[in-house]
Amino acid sequence: MIQPAETTSKSTRKSTSDPTSTIPLTLLESRAVDVRDPDALLGRVAQTFPLNAFLEGPQAHGFFHRSGVIHVGGVAVSCSRHSPLEIGFDDADLATLTLPLSGEARVETDGQTLRLQGGPMAAYLPGAAFTASTGTFEEVMICLDRGRLAATASLLEGTARDPRRHLPRFESAQVVDGSPSGRQAELLRHLHLALQMLDAPLLGPVGGLAAPQLEDLLYRLVAALVCPETIRGIDGALPEAHRDRPFDELLEWIRAHLHVPITVSELSRRSAYSLRNLQYLFQRRFGCSPMQWVKRQRLEAVHRDLQRAQPGETVATIARRHGFVQMSSFAASFRRHYGIAPSLLLRRSRIDAG
């Protein structure tokens, strides 16, 4: 490991503060940690990333680094703002998507130079060694598994039976420019909206950050940004009515697994239909999206079990049996769908049976 350069010694640092160091982070401010000592930051970063070089840049107001980190399932998301620095990393197992929020940076990796600046853009780094040189800079970094990104791209395109098809696209660095209007601009906008959910205080009661849908959404958005051709539209080869057996088998699998978390990407993987084809097929047959249909099946299963509840069973135990986690949200959905509170239906069923 290359040790930090001597220019980080305390004797060369100014004691005054950079005004930007006190500005709240755009994301994850509630988790923000301030580091004012470059040596402390060096140790903190090296615990997580394969750091091989660190050099504090010339500081007019003193060194600062403010960052917040959160994990969404297996995805790590960080937001940081820091004074100028140069930093280098060795090869890593995970890929990184960087969203520059303010300032400028230059990244050197595998013979390429990527220039980043605050605005509608992103830089995808596949995990190869890189160095970065920045001014005062704020960015969001999303760390993801390359193999899962490639598999997700295959799901989006409808080639789920060959998840390695898109792997080469996720093994090279690239910049995504979202300044022109178009599909990638929309994807970047939706990615920023999804990241704002990380600060939503009400996520806890509805499954929290462990809810698989949020992790799945991040993978789909990043995969589409890196491989935009996978979402050009519904595949031409939609199954005819007499060839809907895979779809019927998928419906049976859903009915048998209402008790476990289900995501639209899981449905795509199991059926080998692209996500857009799934949306089309569910809309054509049921007039709703795949996840809306899953919810309907769960409500119907709860409705049946409430009508034949065993002694000692409660609304909560029956609802959880069929995949509902947040009881107040479930009760409201049940009342809208059946026009009766689940607790009242349970009481009536017991009176009728008794």
Q: Are residues 183 and 324 in the same domain?
A: no
State the pTM of this model. Answer: 0.68
Give me the percent of the chain exceeding a pLDDT of 90: 46
| pLDDT score for 222 | 96
DSSP readout, 243-283?
Answer: G-HHHHHHHHHHHHTTTS---HHHHHHHH---HHHHHHHHH
For 183-233, what is each residue's pLDDT tens digit?
888 899 999 988 988 877 655 555 555 555 788 889 999 999 998 878 754
Q: What is the mean pLDDT of residues 152-168?
A: 76
Q: Rounded CA gap, 19 and 345, in Å?
A: 61
| pLDDT score for 14 | 41
Return the higher-pLDDT residue of 245 and 193.
193
Could you tell me the CATH number of the domain that includes residue 338? Answer: 1.10.10.60
Q: Are residues 268 and 335 in the same domain?
A: yes
| pLDDT score for 94 | 93
SS3 148: helix
Give me the percent of the chain exceeding a pLDDT of 70: 83
Q: What is the mean pLDDT of residues 295-311?
A: 92
Q: Are 134 and 104 in contact (CB under 8 A)?
A: yes
End-of-domain residue from the set 210, 232, 254: 232
In the predicted structure, residue 58 carries a pLDDT above the cut 80: no
End-of-domain residue from the set 217, 232, 247: 232
Q: What is the mean pLDDT of residues 55-69?
A: 79
Q: Are residues 249 and 200 in the same domain?
A: no
Boundaries of domain holding 317: 234-354
- Which residue spans within the chain are E strands per DSSP? 33-35, 51-56, 65-72, 75-82, 85-89, 94-102, 104-109, 112-117, 121-125, 130-134, 137-145, 174-177
SS3 83: coil
| pLDDT score for 178 | 87
Mean pLDDT estimate for the chain: 83
| pLDDT score for 243 | 47
Q: Which run of H or E residues covers position 155?
A: helix 146-157
Q: Are 102 and 118 in contact (CB under 8 A)?
A: yes
